[in-house]
């Protein structure tokens, strides 16, 4: 299956920032990218401890509800000094309702007395052709940086204003979207996904 063969593709997410990034990357390549909210698909529980399991659950749920191909990503930030937390709980780190501001404050407080600020964003993307697809297309990406205590930048979403990139001297929230999409965990995963599709192996 070539990328050009894909038509409608449902994004199994209600996260507006995530949908915007994925649409920005896939739209110019001929994909008709549709958020699951267009089909009134509700969010599904993400009960698993790994990103890959949660991504498959989300993609399958969207396929079942829409009958269309579905793409889901599960992503989050993993902090070395916190044994990988927030990890799969990144979006709900500070509890419900989800709040970027409260999540970031909890993370900064957790690191207040710790010298090791290394962290990485991780993203895994799953593409299912139908709900019973036995061979999902899977790709992932990882983006290394460190956590800073003070907010910098107004772009991006999630932990971006506190995710500092030493090589660039900026946080993820200070990067133009095009640059962020080229180097981010999600950008890497999408590039690898497209490369797999272009291999015509599916």
Please give the Cα distance from 61 to 10 (Å, whole number).
11
178 is known as an active-site residue = no
Find out whether 185 and 142 touch, Cβ atoms under 8 Å: yes
Please give the Cα distance from 79 to 170 (Å, whole number).
18
* 177-184: Cβ within 8 A, 24+ apart: 177/21, 177/24, 180/21, 180/155, 180/156, 181/21, 181/24, 181/25, 183/143, 184/21, 184/121, 184/123, 184/141, 184/143
Residue 150: how many other CB atoms lie within 10 Å: 9
Please give the Cα distance from 94 to 156 (Å, whole number).
19
Please give the Cα distance from 188 to 140 (Å, whole number).
7
Active-site residue (options: 38, 45, 73, 74): 74
Strand partners, 32: 8
Show which residues are catalytic.
74
């Amino acid at each position: 299956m070539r990328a050009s063969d894909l038509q409608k593709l449902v994004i199994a997410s209600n996260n507006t920032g995530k949908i915007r990034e994925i649409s920005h990357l896939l739209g110019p390549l001929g994909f008709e990218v549709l958020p699951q909210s267009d089909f009134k698909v509700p969010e599904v529980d993400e009960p698993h401890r790994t990103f890959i399991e949660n991504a498959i659950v989300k993609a399958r749920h969207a396929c079942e509800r829409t009958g269309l191909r579905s793409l889901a990503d599960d992503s989050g930030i993993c902090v070395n000094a916190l044994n990988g937390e927030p990890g799969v709980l990144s979006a709900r780190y500070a509890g419900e309702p989800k709040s970027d501001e409260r999540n970031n404050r909890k993370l900064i407080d957790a690191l207040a007395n710790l010298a090791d600020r290394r962290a990485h964003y991780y993203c895994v993307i799953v593409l299912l052709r139908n709900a019973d697809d036995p061979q999902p297309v899977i790709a992932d990406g990882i983006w290394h940086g460190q956590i800073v205590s003070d907010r910098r930048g107004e772009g991006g979403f999630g932990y971006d204003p506190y995710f500092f990139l030493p090589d660039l001297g900026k946080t993820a929230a200070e990067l133009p979207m095009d640059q962020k999409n080229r180097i981010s965990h999600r950008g890497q995963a999408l590039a690898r996904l497209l490369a797999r599709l272009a291999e015509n192996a599916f």
